[in-house]
Homo-oligomer: A and B are copies of this chain.
Amino acid sequence: MISRPPRPRERGIPDATVARLPVYLRALQALQDRGTATVSSEDLAGAAGVNSAKLRKDLSHLGSYGTRGVGYEVEYLVYQISRELGLTQDWSVAIVGIGNLGRALANYGGFGTRGFRIAALLDADPEVVGRTVASLDVRHIDNLEDVVRDKGVSIGVIATPAGSAQGVAGRFVEAGVSSILNFAPVVLNVPDGVDVRKVDLSIELQILAFHAQRRADGDGRGAERAGLEVT
């Protein structure tokens, strides 16, 4: 096999676009709350902090939902993006590791638009198990498989120390969870077909430090590389 067939991408929305859709959605919901009926790509792009051509191209991947000379109908667009992101159905989330971060996550009520329901909290520490956090009983990690099955958990959140994360990930996968959000500072090893996203505090700080240093360093001329919003 010389070259695999040039990647059909059968219904392909580029990953970069997918990463921005939630931002557009939030901006749109803000507009909706303010009673705005339609919005131009220029204005929406401004609110979302992106280039308007990029926004139009992103939206064009979902179909032609705008009206030339007018703009986009806010309500309709909210619906289309929600549908595309899969927010019209309910996702059941389990959080493992109820330390400071786990508690913060559990209490973080406004999970964007609804669509996400925190179904269970799990921890290994007997000190924590049995307590009530965000009106949920914290259950022992040994019940992970049962909880996943009984509550139909489809997204697992790992907020444990680094050492336990891989083990938890493995159990999630074994139990049939194929979407994992990982806050532990380790690279998770998972089989193909499992989607892992990582959120890492200290990595973000380190990237900021790099740019800050660069700014301070070569300051024969300032701000040569700056103001970059990053997703």
Contact = CB atoms under 8 A, between A and B. Distances in A.
A79 B185 CA distance: 20
B195 A91 contact: no
Contacts of A207: 18-19, 22, 197
Contacts of A128: none
A68 to B, nearest CB: 26
B155 A179 contact: no
B115 A226 contact: no
A178 to B, nearest CB: 7
Interface string A191-215: 1111111111111111111111111
Interface in A66-110: 84-87, 89, 91, 93, 99-101, 103-105, 107-108, 110
A209 B180 CA distance: 10
Contacts of A205: 91, 93, 111-112, 116, 155, 181
A199 B108 CA distance: 14
In the complex, which range does the number of interface residues on chain A fall in? Answer: 35 or more
A210 B18 contact: yes
Contacts of A211: 18, 179, 195
B196 A229 contact: yes
Contacts of A93: 205
A10 interface: yes
B193 A215 contact: yes
Interface stretch (A34-42, A119-127, A138-146, A216-224): A216-224
Most B-side CB within 10 Å, residue of A15, A100, A209, A226: A209
Given A193-B222, A222-B193, A208 B179 contact: yes
Contact of A208 (B84, B108, B155, B215): B155
A105 B179 contact: no
15 contacts: A19-B207, A23-B187, A85-B209, A86-B213, A87-B209, A100-B108, A101-B108, A108-B201, A154-B212, A155-B208, A178-B212, A179-B211, A191-B227, A192-B223, A194-B226
